[in-house]
Amino acid sequence: MAFSFMKASLKQKDAMNAMLYVHKQKPGFCELFFVCEGIQVFLREKDNDETVMEDDNGVTVARMKDNNNNKSVAKWCLEGLIFSNSRSIDSDPTSSSSSSEFPLINQNLWEFYLREIENYYQELLSLNLEEENHNSDFPPTQYESLREELNEAYNRIQTKRKEAKQNIERHEKAEWAIWFCNRREEELENRIKEEVAAREELKKELERKKEEVDEISVEVEETKKMVIQVSETERQQRKVIEVKTQILGEIEELRRQRIMGRSRRVVAEAVNNNGCCVFREYREEEIVVATHSFWDELRMKGGFGGWSNVYKGRINGYTVAIKMLNSPPAFSQLHYFLAKVKILGSIRHPHLVDMLGFCSEPKCIILEYMDSGSLGDILHCRLRRWSLLWHDRIRIAIEVCSGLGFLHESQPRPIIHCHIDPSNILLDHNLVAKITGFGLHGCGEECNVGSDVKAVGVLLMQLLTGKRNFLGMVREDILDGSGGKWPLDVAKEVEDLAKRSMSNEDMSIARVMEELNEIRRKHDSIAWTRID
């Protein structure tokens, strides 16, 4: 920062006298100012004889009361200069670092300025005194010239002020742009660092995923090999199961044949020991002794239509079933009864109850005794001694069809049962099914082979549900829980076969038996697979 002062001279005295004159003679609506260090300074007088100097913003920079006091004038000028300098220092952004050193560096400079101001003020006073002594006036042309110069100076000052303001605004905008760019640069650098870190992390994650994929690929290859081995093993197991199923079927058939042979041997031994044929007539005394005079404790069950009773008895040391016939109309004639029972006594089949003899008076027939009772006792009785599993139920249905098929093939005409239901299906101690009640009761004209087929369809539904009345049952409740966990596909096939048997007149017992055997063979292999 620098200060320049006018030296006392004749021209300077004339200029200063002109300024003082202008200040005193100017109109009230005009203002007189001069520029000090780029700042407009206005000179105003107040009512209390106090002279005040203000800058262009209206801020007081100096005051003076005593015009004759040189010391106060010097102080007034110095305060104005110090104030203007302090403003420039405060506005300078670089001055914050050097403001602490300012008093020490410029102390001598301020003393020099103070002496210069005092000397200059003395010269101004002397010039003012000379002006008053000479009482000289400037010519009008000189005033006009001075006014034009003042206007030009004012215009230049205003132009410089605008340029300075624009420079300041441009400087502020430039500083803001620099600050914004620096901030954006920092943000971009941070983002770049984050992106680099994220890329490194993704690269590591990709490497880990590649390792996992390699491990999974190895596991997949090993799994494929294991699947091939398991498939080969299953194929071999299926072959073994098929062979095993075939062998088991043969064993089951041999077992049944052995049971039937044993039963026939027992009957033959009884015949040989008693000197009678397999089918013979018994006397009334033998029947009374066998039934303990028809003791109610030996009564086993009521027969068809409520007109027959079955008693458990013993003849020649063997347990037999004695079925009493309470003189139905068809048996009223003795010759008809004898012809009927002789025909039935000649019928022999593994799944038909054997007739061992008869008695003419009272009319009764002696039948093979079945240890496990009737199928109806097992399915419908509340106090069951045991339960039939689903595969046993299918087997019993096949055995019933086998016995019925034999009756339908009888010559010279087929024998129609007409009353196939669980109460006429008896089970021995091995749960082998045998049909009873055939050929004893008259059948109406509507009875034919199809009637027995429909009855088998009803029997299949009773084996599925365990109920006498299965109509209207919800599908979820259709299976009898005592039969174990039915395979749903087996149950569906049996149900479909039962419905076709009940509704289709073209169905035959042989066809029903064939489809039941197919269901049994297919699902026996599944059962053995699960066991293995």
**Structural domains of the chain ordered from first start:** 10-138 (no CATH), 277-369 (3.30.200.20), 373-532 (1.10.510.10)
pLDDT-wise least confident of 36-50, 252-266, 361-375, 427-441: 36-50
Query: What is the C-alpha separation between 290 and 314, in angstroms, rounded?
Result: 5
**Residue range 281-298, pLDDT digits in tens:** 888 898 899 988 888 888
pLDDT for res 265 = 63
**Residue range 199-221, pLDDT digits in tens:** 999 999 999 999 999 999 999 99
Mean pLDDT of the chain: 74
Mean pLDDT along residues 455-470: 86
Mean pLDDT along residues 469-474: 60
The more confident residue out of 514 and 118 is: 514
pLDDT for res 27 = 64
List the alpha helices (DSSP H) in 304-435: 334-345, 375-380, 390-408
Is the entire prediction scored with pTM above 0.75?
no
Confidence class for position 275, pLDDT limits 50, 70, 90: very low
**Residue range 33-88, pLDDT digits in tens:** 666 555 666 666 655 555 555 555 555 555 544 444 444 444 444 444 444 444 44
Closest CA to 1 of 66, 78, 76, 86: 86
**Residue range 430-443, pLDDT digits in tens:** 889 999 888 766 66
The more confident residue out of 421 and 61 is: 421
DSSP codes, 69-97: -HHHHHHHHHHHHHHHHHHHHHH-TTTTT
List the alpha helices (DSSP H) in 326-417: 334-345, 375-380, 390-408
pLDDT-wise least confident of 179-183, 188-192, 350-354: 350-354
CB 483 within 8 A of CB 516: no
